[in-house]
Structure formats: structure tokens, C-alpha cells
Amino acid sequence: MKSTIYLLLVLLSMCSCKKNDYRLDYSGIKPIVIVPNANWPGKSLYDPQPSDSLFGVQKLKLYARVSYAAALDHPVKVTFKPAPELLADYNTKWYTAYELLPADAYQASSLEVTIPANVKEAVLPVSIFPDKIAGTTDYFMAFTISSAGGENVAANAKTIIFTLKGQ
């Protein structure tokens, strides 16, 4: 008798599964521009400290992405700006003593990148010059999106922090 009841319960649970053809309606949502790997401020109460880059790294990448159901039909010019004002907050939060990376220790051809039409993401490379980084000092650099060609920018996903370890 017990096995019959179990068999009926299993059969009933299998019959109750239905395919759901419901699709989300994004028509009222406007696209936003984000840094997809943004790490400041943290997104949760127990967010982990952004991990340090290894000594000698020579290239970093700033990503800009359109967060929307589909790519936009027009290009979007995204402008980044350095955010050195975040250093004190970072050191306070994580009990660290990072120093601001000197301006001559990195270079970007421009702090603007264009996300082409019908593409969701673009990358802005930043070159790091390890020979300009002194000894065992740990360095900090941050970039934030300052504008995105008239599109909205997500307040919680517009900043990325890089930490660079000395030797």
C-alpha cells in the first residue's frame, strides 16, 4: 500500500510540471551603462575585498557595457575619469595603506571608449609601467564612468578599483 501511495505522489508531481512560456517585458525599461566587473561600492553587506593584481601586470582593461535585453542600434560614447577620492574610503574600509598610483605609472590613449551600434560592450586598455612602481609599495587606482552619451549610468556599477602589489 505504501509503495502505491509513493508511486502516485511521484506521478502527480511529474504531471504538475508545465512549461512556462512567459517572457519578461522590457519595453518600459531604459538601457543603462555599467562597468560589468564593478567592485566599488560593494554590492552586499559582506562583500569581499577586491583582489590584488600581481606585481608586474602591464595591461588593465576598463569595460563599459550596455545593460539591456539587446544591444542598442546606435553607438554610445562612454567617458571614464580617475577617482582618486576613493582611496581614503578604501583604506578605511579594508584597513590597508595603499598609495595612489602615480600618473606617470599608467597610460590610456584616451579615457573615452565607444560602444558600437549593435554591440553590448567595449574595452578601454590601460597600460601599466611596472618600472615606475617603487619597491614594495602597494598602489591603488580607480576609474568611474562620468558620462555615457546621454544614456543612464548605474550608480552601483560605474566604478572599478584596481590594486597593484609592489614586489
Domain boundaries, the chain: 30-164
CATH number of 30-164, picked from 1.20.1510.10, 3.40.50.10860, 3.90.1210.10, 2.60.40.1740: 2.60.40.1740
Residue 88 has pLDDT above 90, yes or no: yes
Nearest to 127 by CA among 110, 146, 139, 113: 110
- pLDDT (tens digit per residue) in 21-61: 666 666 678 888 988 888 887 766 677 777 767 667 889 99
Report percent pLDDT > 90 for the chain.
49
**pTM assigned to the model:** 0.78
- pLDDT (tens digit per residue) in 109-132: 999 999 999 999 999 999 998 888
Residue type at position 100:
L
Other C-beta atoms within 10 Å of 144: how many?
20
The residues, ordered by sequence, that sit 6+ positions from 124 with a Cβ below 8 Å of its Cβ are 61, 62, 63, 64, 80, 108, 110, 111, 112, 113
Choice between 114 and 67, residue whose per-residue pLDDT is larger: 114
> Averaged over 138-156, what is the pLDDT?
93
DSSP code per residue over 120-138:
-EEEEEEEE-GGGS-TT--
CA-based end-to-end distance of the chain: 72
